[in-house]
Structure 1
Amino acid sequence: MRTAFVPLIALAIALGASSAIAQEREQVKVAFEHALPNVEGKKIVAVTVTYPPGGKSLAHHHAASAFIYAYVLSGAIRSQVGDGPAKVYHAGEWFYEMPGSHHAISENASDKEPASLLAVFVVDSKDGPLTRPDKGP
């Protein structure tokens, strides 16, 4: 009986650890997607990104053709794009990313309050996925 119980404990610990990791990551939801009727081959995609307290995204690149406008909806977001300095943007502030930019830091600046942003992509219709995490070492 005891030996059957040990794997269940290990599974519960593993699930708890993966749940804790998932709680630190962002939640991304597509809010809107539409072809641009006056710009052949382009579309606009709006996504909401919600960070729990202390939450962050992995360093990443976006689709090569993507121009991104980001507007902070709530809380404060720490962001570093390319070789620029990391900056904190508060609700009502915005930043943008040029096509091909590297997003080294994207995270909630608070470990107590959630934060969210609206990211609007103008991207080639056939270019995807919108975000690619950096490859590990």
Structure 2
Amino acid sequence: MKKFLCSLVLAALPLQVASADSQQHPHGSGGVKVTLVYEHQLPGMPNKSIKGVLVEYEPGGVNPAHTHARSALIYATVLEGAVLNQLNGGPIRTFTKGQNFTELPGDRHDVSANASETEPAKLLAVFVVDTDDTVLTTPIER
């Protein structure tokens, strides 16, 4: 499974430059831009799709705490800079360019932020998700 997900991420990386027809998602706040850059139904897996989401953090950018679609398995790779990440109340971890992390269905994403106040950061989140799940991220009310 890990080899399969790595292949999916590598296949989606060139899509980070997509812009004109990218779908913008306004749920980001505090200097975060989220863009759907890729979407494709998975052959041989009824009702399953892969969706690539580019997350761009301005210096000091913070995405609010959130959950993802219940079916979502996410493999995220940092493309630029450093990103702070906390899942399910666990430790806050810093991931730098080239490093990756996985989010499992039902995980709570407590911290999603740029680790730098002076440099931007980017990550590509590759979702394997039910095709009917159109809302990929839901902010947590605090």
TM norm. shorter chain > 0.5: yes
CA–CA distance in structure 2, aligned partners of residues 42 and 23 of structure 1: 29
Q: Does 1:81 align with 2:90?
A: no
Gaps of 5+ in 2: 1-27
1:58 alignment counterpart: 64
Q: TM-score of the superposition, structure 1-length normalised?
A: 0.81
2:16 alignment counterpart: none
Moved over 2 A (4+): 22-25
Superposed CA deviations along residues 47-88 of structure 1, whole A, max 9, x for unmatched, are: 100000000100000000000000000000000011321100
Q: Which one-letter code corresponds to 2:103 in the other structure?
A: E
Contact 1:24 1:53 in 2 (8 A): no
The correspondence for 2:117, drawn from 78, 89, 111, is 111
- Cα RMSD over matched residues? 1.3
Contact 1:23 1:52 in 2 (8 A): no
Q: TM-score of the superposition, structure 2-length normalised?
A: 0.78
1:9 alignment counterpart: none
Looking at CA atoms only, which structure, 1 or 2, has the larger radius of gyration? 1
Identity %: 47
Residues matched between the structures, number? 115
2:51 alignment counterpart: 45
The correspondence for 2:96, drawn from 72, 90, 96, is 90
Q: Does 1:72 align with 2:78?
A: yes
CA–CA distance in structure 2, aligned partners of residues 102 and 121 of structure 1: 15
Gaps of 5+ in 1: 1-21
Instruction: Give how far 1:109 is off.
Output: 0.2
